Structure 1
Amino acid sequence: MKPRLENKVALVTGGAQGIGAATAALFVEHGARVIVNVREHTPAAQAFALSLGAPDEVLLLAADVSRRAEVEAMVAQAVSHFGRLDVLVNNAGINVFDDPLHLSDEDWARCFSVDLEGAWHCARAVLPHMLAQRAGSIVNIASVHGHKIIPNAFPYPVAKHGLIGLTRALGIQYAAQGIRVNSVSPGLILTALAESVFLASPDPQAERRRQEQLLPCQRIGEASEVAYTVLFLASDEARFINATDILIDGGRSHLYHE
């Protein structure tokens, strides 16, 4: 079977852990050359990038996506190294959950600077290269929080609603120039962050079972399951899908809870 991203170059932000790492690994498996973005170089990130491939296949680049100048420098280096850029996966993000009236101005700004502005910084940096090629796919990692609201999770859902809006606006704006912009909205996915939340509870196993029971399928999602959807959207198989968001939450957002 022909690799689904053969001859394509992809940038995955927040690409050394969780959904980003699963996506980067799957992209390499399917023939892409990959830029793994991290906020800062660490031995763990460097080891992960080396595990995926040699520097002519996988390039580890540090940039804080909330800083436009750093993003522009990263994209310029990526294009200089690989000669082109076909796919952007905006995965970098942070969780900021609070009661609205307890939220500080600093935390509000921090949430939006990464979860929404960071995605825009990256899209704005890659779009000129994609437009010159008249081809490109951007996949934003949104959230089920962009569809349903949980109390005391503010302002994260506001940023994710905005990210889905950004997806639709850019997808429509550049459709005629061969650019597709889509998003995926994961629900509860078993990442290191999710595991840390379980471990912080008085009874981690009980908390995990409680979360599983909230899902119609009675299990928590896996990062690879999100990555396969991102792979599809990034590939030419999805060439008629644009300005669309796909929920990946095991059906939970459609379940009525009394």
Structure 2
Amino acid sequence: MDLRLSSQVAVVTGASKGIGLAITRTLLEEGAQVAAVSRKVSPELAALDGPSLLHVAVDLTDPLAPAAAVARAVEAFGGLDILVNNAGGPPPGVSLPRFSFLSPSDDDWRSMFEFNLFSAVRAIRAAVPHLLARGGGSIVNVTSTMGRQPAAVNVDYGAAKAGLAHVTKSVAAEYGAQGIRVNTVAPGATLTPWWTDEGGAADIFASASGSTRAEVLASGAASSMGLLTGRLVSPQEVADVVALLVSPRSGSTTGAEYVVDGGQLKEL
């Protein structure tokens, strides 16, 4: 299927690894020009280098960084059609999960919201005028099933993602008539460096459950979270949904939430 993304200009945050890297790769394969936003260039992102890829090195917890990233994309490619707010998860220097509401301090809550909510709000604010100048465009905010299903774990993270889901619907309502579509993709537990890095979620879960990181990654995490597929989600599976949502082929889809979670969420 031709997603009709040739020559479209996209900004993708958190683009150096995991879901963001998969989104960046997929949009490039579909012919888009992509400003890949991350603090550093990973070897995997560097392997995608070419005339349609621009790396924008910023720390999105800096309040000025999202607008700077959008401006750099517009300067390089002449406009903006797509914004994917993918950056999220543990802020720099933080390991998740946290297993108690009492674990995060006020500073932890602030840094979590800066990274997972406020950076996206600032990027949307910067992107909207440029999208309007092109007659419309598409925004996809990557949230999490934890924003949908409260639990006694990662409470600050889930609250930030729930806030981003609310922002999505509000911005969709305001700008739908002007051609800007805004949607949410909510992944479940996904096989990203958040899980696989040394000291990451797999190691933390293994320590808490008395198992091994290999067991957690193979099936333990999926089983404990109720993923019907019995495995963690692939980053590419999330990227494919994002690519379809930013495509003009999804022209009547806005204010919607698409869950990619291996069957974790079961409520109607």
Kept in 1: contact 2:228–2:264 (CA 8 A): yes
Match in the other structure for 1:236: 248
After TM superposition, the runs of 4+ consecutive aligned structure 1 residues lying more than 4 A away are none
1:50-61 alignment runs, 5 A limit: 50-54=46-50, 56-61=51-56
Match in the other structure for 2:68: 73
Mapped pair 1:210 → 2:213:
no
CA positional deviation for 1:29: 0.4
Find the aligned partners of 1:212 and 1:112 in 2 and give their Cα distance: 26
Q: Residues 93-130 of structure 1, C-alpha deviation per residue, up to 9 Å, x if partnerless?
A: 13363522332111010000110001001111111100
Q: Residues 137-181 of structure 1, C-alpha deviation per residue, up to 9 Å, x if partnerless?
A: 000000001110121321111111100000000011100110001
SS in 2 for 1:155: helix
Tell me the amino acid that sits aligned with residue 256 of structure 2. Answer: T
CA positional deviation for 1:3: 5.1
Find the aligned partners of 2:193 and 2:31 in 1 and give their Cα distance: 27
Provide the identity percentage.
35
Find the aligned partners of 1:14 and 1:31 in 2 and give their Cα distance: 20
Find the aligned partners of 1:235 and 1:151 in 2 and give their Cα distance: 37
Match in the other structure for 1:224: 236
Q: TM-score, normalised by structure 1?
A: 0.91
Kept in 1: contact 2:145–2:186 (CA 8 A): yes
Q: Residues 55-80 of structure 1, C-alpha deviation per residue, up to 9 Å, x if partnerless?
A: x3100001222323222222112101
Kept in 1: contact 2:13–2:84 (CA 8 A): yes
Tell me the amino acid that sits aligned with residue 230 of structure 2. Answer: Q
1:72-91 alignment runs, 5 A limit: 72-91=67-86
Kept in 1: contact 2:145–2:265 (CA 8 A): yes
Mapped pair 1:198 → 2:202:
yes
Deviates more, 1:93-102 or 1:77-86: 93-102
Match in the other structure for 1:141: 142
Match in the other structure for 1:48: 44
- Structure 2 gap segments, 5+ residues each: 91-95
SS in 2 for 1:61: strand
Q: Residues 228-250 of structure 1, C-alpha deviation per residue, up to 9 Å, x if partnerless?
A: 00000000111100011111111
Q: TM-score, normalised by structure 2?
A: 0.88
Instruction: Give the aligned CA root-mean-square deviation in angstroms.
Output: 1.8
Match in the other structure for 1:159: 160
- Structure 1 gap segments, 5+ residues each: none
SS in 2 for 1:16: coil
Find the aligned partners of 2:45 and 2:157 in 1 and give their Cα distance: 29
